[in-house]
Amino acid sequence: MSKRTINGLDEHQKAFVKLIEANARRHRKHEVFRDFCEMAAISLSNAVDFAQAEKREARYMHLIGRYERAEVDRFPQMLGHIVQSLEAGFHDCLGQLFMALELGDHWKGQYFTPYEVAYLMAELGCGDVAALVEEHGYFTANEPASGAGAMVIALANCIRNKGLNYQRCLHVTAQDLDETAVHMTYIQLTLLHVPAVVIHGNSLWPKGTDAQWYTAAHVLGGWRGLLARRRAVTHAPTSGETPAVQLPVLERAAPAEPSGKGRPTKARFVDTRQTTLFE
């Protein structure tokens, strides 16, 4: 991992902060950060989720229309720095930036758990996942209050450190009430290629209309089919089989996922360097 500065940010995170501040000359800082997260999430989503692309593209055009040309050009640079920061090692890149930019007051005083604490919690709760994966092929995890995704990132890191490929043996359902937190989680899990569905909604009172974001690893890995087969076994009244790992309680019928039909919307923010994260 690249050397950290005294304030805990690496060189790419510091460059990100400068770009945010440059775009905040005509806009409020928390609005620039919020818009970056949503537009980056849309760009990543539209590369794989064609079913929701048209609606999200319209939202993207509405957001980007608020910015001048020079400001627009800074947004892909921001994403490039997030990619490079995550390439250096597992950490809650956007959560750290959120706290460093002192944006908590604009989001109801939110405070994101430090990554080191999240990793300790993941290690304590991880158990003997190797035996679980060997027997069942994969397991699922549920994060009902994801924040920027630190706990999920820490879990993926913990699994990786156990010598397992989290991209194949883990599926996550993450949820948060705050829309920007959902976008932050989705960006980071997509770039780290974590199979996941990220939901914007109330974990205690889920609704079928809650917005759902599918990571590239979820779509490309065929996880909808895998989870559907597990669900069929779980709820089959005469099967006599008790699943080893229960599906997340939030899992339910989801909006249509990419069928391979139609043309994908151009993902304006996507930097080709992110592909190295998938190796």
pLDDT at residue 51 tops 70:
yes
Kindly state the percentage of the chain with pLDDT values over 70.
Answer: 77
The mean per-residue pLDDT over the stretch 105-126 comes to 78
The mean per-residue pLDDT over the stretch 58-70 comes to 96
Residue 208 burial (CB count, 10 A): 10
184 neighbors 37 (Cβ within 8 angstroms): yes
CA distance 106 to 30: 7
258 neighbors 50 (Cβ within 8 angstroms): yes
Question: What pLDDT does residue 232 have?
Answer: 80
Query: Using 50, 70 and 90 to split pLDDT, how confident is the model at 3?
Result: very low
151 neighbors 118 (Cβ within 8 angstroms): yes
CA distances from 77 to 85, 102, 231 (A): 12, 21, 41
Question: What pLDDT does residue 237 have?
Answer: 54
Of 80, 60, 53, 78, the closest CA to residue 275 belongs to 80
Of 146, 142, 104, the closest CA to residue 245 belongs to 142
CA 172, distance to chain mean position in Å, is 10
Residue 52 DSSP class: G
CA distance 228 to 219: 13
Of 217, 207, 230, the closest CA to residue 257 belongs to 217
Q: What are the DSSP E strand ranges found in the chain?
A: 139-143, 170-176, 196-200, 211-214
The mean per-residue pLDDT over the stretch 102-113 comes to 69
Find where tokens 């005469």 sit. Answer: 238
Structure confidence by residue, pLDDT tens digits, 231-278: 787 665 544 433 333 333 333 333 345 554 444 444 444 333 333 333
CA distance 35 to 72: 11
Positive or negative, the CA dihedral 181, 183, 188, 192 is positive
Q: Kindly report, as residue ranges, where domains of CATH 3.40.50 are found in the chain.
A: 118-252
Instruction: Look at domain 118-252 and name its CATH class.
Output: alpha beta
pTM beyond cutoff 0.85: no
Position 141: which residue type? A
Find where tokens 């997030």 sit. Answer: 82
DSSP assignment of 185-217 equals HHHHHHHTT--EEEEES-TTS--TTSEEEE-HH
154 neighbors 122 (Cβ within 8 angstroms): yes
Residue 110 burial (CB count, 10 A): 17
Structure confidence by residue, pLDDT tens digits, 123-152: 888 878 888 888 888 888 999 999 999 999
CA distance 12 to 9: 8
Indicate the length of the chain as a whole number. 279
Query: Lowest mean pLDDT: which of 14-23, 131-140, 146-155, 170-179?
Result: 131-140
